[in-house]
Structure 1
Amino acid sequence: MLKDLGQVGLWLSRQGLDVADLDESRLHQHLADLRNSGRRRVAGPRGMVPLLTFLREAGVVPAPQVPPSPADVLLERYLRWIESERGLSASTMVRYGNTARRFLAEQAVTDGQFTPESLTGADLNAFLLRECARVSAGSAKGRVAELRSLMRFLHLHGVTPMRLGGAVPPVGGWRFASVPPTMAAGDVQRLLDHTPRHGTVGVRDYAILMLVARLGLRSIEVARLLLDDIDWRCGEIVVRGKGRREDRLPLPADVGEALVAYLTGPRPRLDARRSS
């Protein structure tokens, strides 16, 4: 290794480079120059790996630079946007950036590719469920605002074809942890687990309970649901509240499955396109 180190050091000096400039590509160039000079016994690239590893562990040569991922590039664009367009304070920018970083990192698939144009309301819902399970109610409200900001940026810059900001549930409608107020989350889950899911009445009751427990809908909001309110492709559901207010909420997979089980099972024939 010492002999190799001496040869590499001499080559770097002739190239006007410092040892800190050494990396895999320059090592390959060094070996190629040795072969071109007529040297008959030249180590291959693998034979130089221990030398480069030793120099990096000693802090002489910096670690290799990892190119930014598509998600990292998009995050950097978003951070510049909220700094220039939104005029947010430094602390607020940190919060918005951290939420965006976690969300974008979760969307990257296992092979490293990232396709934000395929985002749906279901992706937003899954992220918010995980976030709200680990933070306080006040922080959960912040997550909603932060995620809406990211969705607005993605649409304004042509990254997502749909305006997904409307799919982020409003703060007042994200009530999973407090429906009903005196009922713990574990009790809600036990109620769902013990609800009969067979027969017309059982399947219907389970679908209603899922809407109440997972989305925090009130009984009147469940009763007003129409079949046309459910966007299966985008994974969203329209909820009509007071004063003709309409909110688009992400439709969790388990709620969608409960609705499908009810809608496809035996039920009374109705003229209205109501799902309940």
Structure 2
Amino acid sequence: MLNNHVTSTVTLSRLNSTRCSPHLDGYTDWLVARRYTAATIELFLFGIIPLGQWLTQHDMPVSSFDHRALEAFRCDRDSIGQWRHTGGRRTVKAAFVGARRFHEYLVIKGHVESTPSASSLPKLLEDFAHWLQIHKGTRVVTVENHIYYLRKFVASLGDKPDAYDAIAVRGYLQTIAKRYPMPTTKATFGSVRVFLRYLVAAGLVTSSLPEAIPVIRDMRLASLPQYIVADDIKKLIDSCDCMPLTARRDRAVLLILARLALRASDVAMLNITDVDWRGARLRVGGKNRQQCWLPLPQDVGDALVG
């Protein structure tokens, strides 16, 4: 439900005033089912507001928001320079990203016609997507993100891996780095790296080809320490008492992160049924949905009970 993910009455009112409003509850539930994080869902919903305004300006019903309309919306946002939405230090093309995901939802639900070219994948990418899901347990959302960046890669270098070499791969990535901002560049590099590793596993390229992809270092974070010392962790956990309303929750989350070295998304996906109290262990889904059990330290268990 939309109300579960938008707390601002002003934002909720703006969303409900758009032509997209009748679809937003179903759209939100669809995003949740695909295991997007709360922050990402909020980002996608942010894009609905300018999209709704654009639909009204062009007197266009949602049923007409096909791939041609999506491209027209992209061009319009590009021309007026309203591309970016900044959340903290992360800057993304929120309006178009949200509109593109909403368009995908409309296509899947049969509300608009699908894009002929977008509905078909090169067999090379089909096999890659199948490998990620079956052999690596990768989430559908992650697979879709990889495919999004790899379409252009395969279109540029071709669908014959035996023609790939380090010069061609690096040349393509250099073009991406010059043309796109850092978040897009890093995502592209990561997707190409995973794709080349798949090709190695399939025996389609040499094992050294993934090494042709350089590592991108984010200089914004260069001043941050690589780890937090034990004394600072203790101070951080003790600081939870300064916020009585959320102290118990924050303390439990920080203890899980500190004691079990989980990712934030792992903690966010935890459920009470993942705790085996008798066996003193915790079930974690992991990055590729490969479940495993971790020992439950006493202080973490106490924090969860509290």
What's the TM-score once normalised by structure 1's chain length?
Answer: 0.33
Q: Which has the larger radius of gyration?
A: 1
